């Protein structure tokens, strides 16, 4: 599915098969079914541009003409407002995709007083991932809840992948993750786990390195961000959203 989807929307525009009635969201859905039968859109809705529909699939978004013939991948910019409308929608799509995974399928470190939440795609053997986790108490002190998802960069079947599985299958996942991040050897374990789901989601979000932080607003922060700086960024984002809501 990932290869099919990537090939299908890899270019700027794609001619879709089929001739369907214009102006009907079902026409878009039908055209996508014919051209990409393995892909099921989460939503199809009119875009700000007449005759163009926005389609979300997991954490991805693209645009399809109302006759279902053309597909466009890229950012839709409101020049007058100087706003990236696509990024705003992508933020929502990322959060919806993360909600579908659910916190029960993440390793969560909770602060005493919760002010913010971040999702962190992590590789157990990544140096900056280990640095971030070595400072986990600082993030918790800032009131930041850290929800970990596994993203072993070497892929399925790698040493980092099996370390992630062993952490998940441990009796105490938080303790096991901390030990693994310190370089301690864990007992190899196997069980039903969400590692493949995490890896697929991170790939769909465009992760090409770790750690990759996704904020509670759905924004992506690539790389390590110190706790105090992250707290400031999250507080600033709250202020900007509140100001926007008051306009």
CB 149 within 8 A of CB 120: yes
Which of these, 201, 220, 198, lies nearest to 88 by C-alpha position?
220
In terms of DSSP bridges, do strands 220-222 and 212-215 run parallel, antiparallel, or are they unpaired? antiparallel
User: Is 191 tagged catalytic?
Assistant: no
Please pick, among 123, 130, 147, 219, the residue that the annotation labels catalytic.
123
Catalytic residue at 129? yes
Q: Using CA atoms, how far apart are residues 90 and 119, in angstroms rounded to an integer? A: 15
Of the candidates 67, 94, 125, 126, the residue annotated as catalytic is: 126
Query: Which H or E run includes 204?
Result: helix 195-204
Q: Tell me whether residue 169 is one of the annotated catalytic residues.
A: no
77 alpha-carbon distance from chain centroid: 21
- Residue of 67, 69, 125, 129 marked active site: 129
| Residue 108: exposure state from Cβ atoms within 10 A (0-12, 13-18, ≥19) | middle
- From the candidates 69, 94, 147, 153, which is the catalytic residue? 153
Q: Just list the catalytic residues.
A: 123, 126, 129, 153
């Amino acid at each position: 599915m990932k290869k099919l989807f990537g090939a299908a929307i890899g270019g700027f525009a794609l001619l879709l098969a089929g001739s369907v009635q214009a102006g009907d969201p079902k026409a878009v859905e039908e055209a996508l079914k014919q051209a990409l039968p393995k892909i099921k859109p989460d939503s199809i809705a009119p875009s700000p541009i007449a005759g163009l529909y926005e389609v979300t699939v997991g954490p991805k978004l693209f645009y399809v003409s109302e006759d279902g013939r053309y597909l466009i991948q890229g950012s839709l910019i409101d020049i007058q407002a100087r706003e990236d409308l696509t990024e705003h929608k992508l933020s929502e799509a990322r959060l919806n995709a993360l909600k579908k995974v659910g916190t029960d399928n993440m390793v969560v470190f909770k602060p005493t007083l919760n002010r913010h939440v971040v999702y962190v795609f992590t590789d157990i053997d990544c140096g900056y991932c280990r640095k971030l986790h070595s400072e986990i108490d600082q993030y918790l002190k800032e009131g930041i809840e850290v929800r970990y998802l596994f993203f072993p960069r070497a892929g399925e079947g790698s040493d980092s992948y099996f370390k992630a599985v062993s952490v998940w299958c441990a009796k105490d996942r938080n303790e096991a993750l901390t030990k693994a991040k310190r370089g301690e050897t864990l007992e190899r374990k196997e069980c039903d786990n969400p590692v493949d789901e995490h890896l697929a989601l991170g790939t769909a979000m465009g992760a090409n390195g770790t750690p990759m932080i996704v904020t509670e607003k759905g924004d992506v922060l690539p790389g390590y961000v110190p706790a105090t700086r992250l707290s400031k960024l999250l507080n600033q984002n709250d202020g900007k959203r509140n100001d926007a809501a008051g306009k």
